[in-house]
Structure 1
């Protein structure tokens, strides 16, 4: 059985020393503080780990709170429920929660908000974590007990003349980053599966991937928080990226359908700057010395990233505690493009 040591690079395949040397520049730069507080980097290529290094005391067994990386995991769970005919992408969400209907007449447009609207961050709810004035900003949600009611009570979003309406937006969806909508997917999963989020995830996603060490953050009402806070080992984050790179297969078994994987990483909305958005996946084209690098990723506050790189047949996990660092996401992108990708390109 392999034993992991903090601050040690652990390579899990033949030719370890030669491949480890390719990543010396990565280790040196991170230890020098060039990328602030990086806690771990795991790189897998052709399904094998070629670099695994920990830069904190937690080491390989440490559970990493990668914040909104959780959202992509929630999308996987929704996909598993859809495949089992427990849920449909076009299923309206709020009718599953009759107890949340306000006393006054609700706006009928709310009852038409679907699972896919929340998966693509494009519901009509006035919910924008990037806007401190937004009624649906996640920081306001954390002040109340019932996060499901918080989402259900949000007003319909307005579209002043200077903002594109959904029908005139790329892919026909007006995007805004909304944690509250994804948080509602947890209670929805519990309603349609008859299990807790933890039970459903353990049986249908984590067990097939060999993931046995998990810590969920809970909402005040007790449901697992599907919008953030799930803690996993770095290698287990890598396994989820690898699952999608392999078309939903793990050890010869189809864990998630190829159809769901393809739909999840297809663009459904235009998000920030050069990003498109799939089903809770970020889609981007990275700029590197070797040219454009298509990628899709799981991403959380502080520049926590799980990059899936189809052209390189690689998965790269970068975990950090750069939560208060301005430009944390570009910093992680820079680590990937300037050091990790060149290391992968070496023979």
Structure 2
């Protein structure tokens, strides 16, 4: 049974009930493309029923973080942002009390890129709760100060702790360095050179693009970003940065590692992946020239639809 037939079998079996779309590329060519219908929830809005097609943008939620990492590489090449070894808090001189705090002096941009800041941060709670640190950040009057002033609970660089605040800081550094909003810089520096013209970037109540979860893309364009990673940046993102970004740097669990805002597997079948709430997935398997983009509606729940389709594609 071929890949397309395996995906079709999953759809007929009903084991991916909230699948919205899947696009598979091999060797740069689309080999599977499917769109469905179902209840979707644009971040910050109420759920609604949507019939999807190839021109329908979809929330990619925390896949946004991985796109921000791509942008950081472009901005770094252009001299707009500090290098990973730069001191982090010093990049925000408007908070002199935090800059002067010796407990934060060792923090670097790399600690934000790898989510190893060592600060008190908890996203294990539902994203409907203001006790969730990312939601609290969005409700705060100043998102950057909110992140940087979190209590330091352990030495940075030692342990991975999922942190949308780290991504917000990176997005802020890019926007400041570029001298324009994150979405506008992203359009010129990344999306348009890749041929992506239909994007949205949801803003927080402060009018700032949500660097942790606000991006909306067509599934085909999500796959194109995977093709860029597979192709070493395609001359848009520096190849050296793509290598650094996808290098396993901190252990999450077993073979499951984290690079610069990207997940990495070091197992028998190495892959790089961006993952978002609800079943938003962008999987890149370099050894097989394979890219898989999935969008789904399993928000705040187990990603059963995405897992079923990915298993079919990978023939697990």
Name 2:278's counterpart in structure 1: 302
Name 1:174's counterpart in structure 2: 159
Question: What are the within-5 Å matches in structure 2 for residues 96-107 of structure 1?
Answer: 96-102=91-97, 106-107=100-101
Match of 2:262 among 255, 264, 281: 281
Q: Is residue 2:82 matched to residue 1:82?
A: no
Distance 2:252 2:100 in 1: 29
TM score, norm. by length of structure 2: 0.87
Q: Is residue 2:146 matched to residue 1:150?
A: yes
1:155 match: secondary structure: coil
Task: Report which of the two structures shows the higher radius of gyration computed on alpha carbons.
Answer: 1
Q: Which runs of 4+ in 1 moved over 4 A?
A: 131-136
State how many pairs are aligned: 300
Name 1:248's counterpart in structure 2: 233
Match of 2:250 among 263, 269, 273: 269
Residues 116-162 of structure 1 deviation map (CA, whole Å, 9 limit, x = unaligned): 1111001132223236899872232233232112112211124xxxx
Q: Determine if contact 1:96/1:191 at 8 Å carries over to the other structure.
A: no
Distance 2:288 2:71 in 1: 27
Q: Determine if contact 2:65/2:212 at 8 Å carries over to the other structure.
A: yes
**Structure possessing the higher relative contact order (Cα contacts under 8 Å, 6 or more residues apart):** 2
1:271 match: secondary structure: strand
Q: Determine if contact 1:31/1:55 at 8 Å carries over to the other structure.
A: no
Q: Provide closer, same or farther for how the CA distance between residues 194 and 151 of structure 1 changes in structure 2, counting only shifts above 3 A.
A: same
1:298 match: secondary structure: strand
Q: Which structure 2 segments of 5+ residues have no match?
A: 38-50
Distance 1:333 1:296 in 2: 15
Q: Which structure 1 segments of 5+ residues have no match?
A: 1-18, 159-164, 167-171, 287-291
Distance 1:136 1:111 in 2: 26
Q: Determine if contact 1:127/1:157 at 8 Å carries over to the other structure.
A: no
Query: Alignment RMSD, CA only?
Result: 2.5
